[in-house]
């Protein structure tokens, strides 16, 4: 039986809708009264795990799930040993550098050397500023990183942006984009090579589904 790791949060509804289109129904996860973290689809041919988005590639890398759906941002940050099979064309957002609108900075290179940047995406932020040859201190935050510049703890943040509304409401503006992100289909490399549980058929069906007009 094939196991799929699904992300809690913003990608879940579209992930379930996509899998339903290929005959795998995990819509029970959308029931607010459901507390199960592992369920079988209605046809008993596959099961799904409901996990934090950041944990999806971990379950896939270690073989507890053969397939997973996760944002490209998580793959860039964690660099897991998984096969990145397809861009699923939903969950669009971008990882950006943002500062207070009232600050003098309008590009990343204008930030002060050895200044502070707050982020959940520590590895992505560090790699970006190293490539710019701009030494900065990366401050790891797990909550509302917008508070970094607001409180004066940091000059800038590196964070995911979708509509930009949260930044705007907190007096921040984007000054650079590191990369764009969408949901991706990932697989356990060995399971993929061996075609475990004959899941090539699901991969090809998913690829066909994302290419079909809505």
Alpha helices, H only, the chain = 12-20, 56-61, 72-78, 122-131, 147-151, 165-169, 189-194, 200-211
Q: Where are the beta strands (DSSP E) in the chain?
A: 2-7, 38-40, 46-51, 67-71, 83-87, 93-100, 115-119, 136-140, 156-161, 172-181, 183-187
pLDDT of 213: 58
pLDDT tens digit sequence for 72-125: 999 999 999 999 999 999 999 999 999 999 999 999 999 999 999 999 999 999
pLDDT of 33: 87
What the block records as the tokens of 182 is: 């969408």
What the block records as the tokens of 95 is: 């990882």
Statement: residue 214 has pLDDT above 70: no
Q: pTM to 2 decimals?
A: 0.92
pLDDT of 199: 77
Closest among 103, 1, 15, 96 to 45, alpha carbons compared: 1
């Amino acid at each position: 039986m094939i196991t799929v790791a699904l992300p809690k949060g913003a990608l879940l509804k579209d992930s379930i809708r996509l899998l339903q289109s290929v005959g795998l129904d995990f819509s029970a996860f959308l029931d607010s009264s459901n507390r199960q973290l592992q369920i079988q689809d209605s046809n008993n041919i596959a099961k799904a795990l409901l996990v934090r988005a950041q944990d999806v590639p971990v379950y896939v890398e270690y073989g507890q799930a053969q397939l997973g759906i996760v944002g490209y941002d998580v793959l860039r940050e964690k660099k897991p040993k998984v096969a990145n099979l397809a861009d699923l064309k939903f969950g669009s957002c971008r990882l950006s550098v943002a500062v207070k609108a009232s600050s003098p900075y309008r590009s990343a290179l204008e930030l002060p050397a050895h200044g502070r940047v707050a982020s959940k995406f520590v590895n992505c932020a560090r790699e970006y500023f190293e490539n710019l040859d701009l030494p900065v201190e990366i401050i790891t935050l797990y909550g509302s990183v917008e508070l970094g510049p607001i409180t004066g703890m940091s000059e800038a943040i590196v964070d995911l942006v979708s509509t930009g509304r949260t930044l705007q409401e907190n007096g921040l503006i984007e000054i650079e984009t590191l990369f764009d992100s969408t949901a991706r289909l990932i697989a356990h490399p060995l399971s993929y090579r061996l075609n475990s549980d004959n899941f090539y058929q699901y991969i090809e069906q998913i690829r066909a589904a994302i290419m079909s007009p809505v």
